[in-house]
Amino acid sequence: MGLFDKLFGKKEEINPNHVYAPMTGEAMDISQVPDPTFSSGAMGNGIAIQPTDGKVCSPVNGTVDMMFDTGHAVTLVSDNGIEILIHVGLETVGLNGAPFQVKVQNGQKVKKGDILMIADLDAIKAAGLPTITPVLICNTDDYTTFNTTTGKAVTNADVVIELGK
């Protein structure tokens, strides 16, 4: 690390074809989500995270396409066109936003690691709902290769989806 890196901080290199984990937790195959809307791949291929922390961070550099009014889900478009849906928990739209603190707005530019929302996982569990969080690539068909990393603990520093054209 050079002097300027020490003084000003080294800029993190982000591969534009990588999607990082938006939450800390256990990365799982999307087929393990107990909701066919997600597990069938109808909305796109992806992974799921069984979160251990409610902080939801941007998995890419890009733009907030739509932050749902209830705060339970967000769509992003990466700087190179990856369309991502992060849906915190299952059936959480019915909680009317109560367990979610939204930190971004539609059209906002974000960098990997920026906080998008904070979910109160205990409140979601208390409502009897699962906290498993699907992370989908909605334009999966635009890519010729689609590789995922699952079956291990992940943080926002870990790549969970690699795409290629």
Share of the chain above pLDDT 70, in %: 93
Give catalytic residues, as residue numbers: 87
| pLDDT, mean over the chain | 94
Q: What is the mean pLDDT of residues 13-32?
A: 96
Q: Is 90 exceeded by the pLDDT of residue 29?
A: yes
Q: What pLDDT is attached to residue 35?
A: 96
pLDDT in tens, 35-56: 999 999 999 999 999 999 999 9
pTM value is 0.93
Rounded Cα distance between 160 and 134, Å, is: 12
| Strand order from edge to edge, sheet including 159-164 | 18-20, 159-164, 145-148
Q: What span, in angstroms and rounded, lies between the C-alpha atoms of 164 and 144?
A: 6
- CA 33 and chain centroid, separation: 15
Q: pLDDT at position 24, please?
A: 98
Mean pLDDT value of segment 145-156? 97
Q: Is the pLDDT of residue 1 over 50?
A: no
Structure tokens of 3?
A: 């002097």
Pairing of β 152-154 and β 115-119: unpaired
Helix (H), strand (E), coil (C) string for the chain: CCHHHHHHCCCCCCCCCEEECCCCEEEEEHHHCCCHHHHCCCCCEEEEEEECCCEEECCCCEEEEEECCCCCEEEEEECCCCEEEEECCCCHHHHCCCCEEECCCCCCEECCCCEEEEECHHHHHHCCCCCCEEEEECCHHHCCEEEECCCEEECCCCEEEEEEC
Q: Is the pLDDT of residue 143 over 60?
A: yes
Give the model's pLDDT for residue 31.
95
**Cβ pair 52, 24 in contact under 8 A:** yes
Q: Which domains, from first to last, does the chain contain? A: 24-164 (2.70.70.10)
